Amino acid sequence: MGSLLLFPNRMRNSERMMGRQVSEIQFTDQDGVQVIASLNVDESDELFELDMWKTDFSKLIKFPDIDNG
């Protein structure tokens, strides 16, 4: 688990810093362990990172299926 850094509009400023979390979702992996995914923006409110981790720090088994409702 870990973070995926995002570079909107080809932004490459290495001095960018995380500003705040704008969204979070939790789901249960196939082994019953909770997964938390957070979308964060930088100090200028530009997309910064997608952070995802399992609460027991094990590897993700499967992303959840999209519910077409």
Answer whether 28's CB lies under 8 Å from 54's CB: no
Residue-range domain boundaries for the chain = 2-54
The pLDDT tens digits for 29-38 are: 999 999 999 9
Residues 6+ apart with CB under 8 A from 57: 1
**30-49: average pLDDT:** 95
The pLDDT tens digits for 2-28 are: 788 888 777 776 788 999 999 999 999
Report yes or no on whether pTM surpasses 0.85: no
